[in-house]
Amino acid sequence: MGLEVEATYENGMFKLERPLALDDGQRVRLTIQPVSGRAHKGYGLLRWTGSLEELDYLIDDVENDPLERP
């Protein structure tokens, strides 16, 4: 059974967004994958010299999308 949940890492601990249906003491295998925007997933695929924040702006801003223009 696979299970995907989101959590926040604070002070060395993961805080889950909801309780898990697991038995107390049950062993599990975790894979940690940061939740991020589209720019972070593709960062490094193109020769980009700007910051990640600038790339996020260019990707996410509707005004920069030629398909969204009238």
Q: How many CB atoms lie under 10 A from the CB of residue 26?
A: 7
Give the model confidence (pLDDT) of 17-51 as tens digits.
888 888 999 999 988 877 766 666 666 677 778 88
Distance, CA of 11 to CA of 13 (rounded, Å): 6
Question: For residue 25, what pLDDT is reported?
Answer: 94
pTM listed for this prediction: 0.42
Instruction: Name every residue whose Cβ is closer than 8 Å to that of residue 39 and which is 6 or more positions away in sequence.
Output: 52, 55, 56, 58, 59, 60
Give the model confidence (pLDDT) of 1-16 as tens digits.
578 888 888 999 999 9
Q: Is 68 helix (H, G, I), strand (E, B) or coil?
A: helix
Question: For residue 26, what pLDDT is reported?
Answer: 93
Give the model confidence (pLDDT) of 46-70 as tens digits.
777 888 888 778 777 777 776 766 6
Parse the chain into domains and list their residue ranges: 7-65
Of 69, 65, 49, nearest in space to 57 by CA: 65
Q: Is 28 helix (H, G, I), strand (E, B) or coil?
A: coil
